């Protein structure tokens, strides 16, 4: 093996591995967990839910007004039903 190959292998082995990606299983999140999350997490979850509940043939448009409205409905439902799963709540309130 030439010097360059040895250096490349050594550099690859010394390179820090990326941290494990953070994951959130929405099937296990309760309404109480959702409403007590930080603003950024709530926003990310709402964005994901909007995509999940949109029609397969929907245009690739992010409707922030709809997301705000659906988020309000979801927050209201979750406030009244803190023990329900977030997905159950979303099934009830997200416009389909």
pLDDT digits (tens, 9 = 90+) for 4-22: 444 444 444 445 545 555 8
Measure the CA–CA gap between 35 and 24, rounded to whole angstroms. 15
CATH number of 20-93: 1.10.890.10
CA distance 73 to 79: 10
3-class SS at 11?
helix
pLDDT the model gives residue 64: 92
23-63 pLDDT, tens per residue?
Answer: 888 889 999 999 999 999 999 999 999 999 988 898 988 89
What does the alpha-carbon distance between residue 44 and residue 28 come to, in Å, rounded to a whole number?
16
Q: Where are the domains of the chain?
A: 20-93
């Amino acid at each position: 093996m030439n010097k360059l190959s040895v250096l490349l292998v050594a550099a690859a082995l010394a390179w820090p591995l990326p941290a494990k990606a953070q994951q959130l299983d929405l099937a296990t999140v309760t309404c109480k967990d959702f409403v007590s999350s930080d603003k950024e997490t709530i926003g990310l979850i709402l964005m994901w839910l909007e995509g999940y509940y949109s029609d397969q043939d929907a245009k690739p448009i992010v409707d922030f007004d709809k997301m705000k409205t659906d988020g309000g409905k979801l927050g209201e439902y979750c406030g009244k039903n803190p023990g329900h799963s977030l997905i159950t709540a979303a099934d009830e309130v997200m416009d389909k």
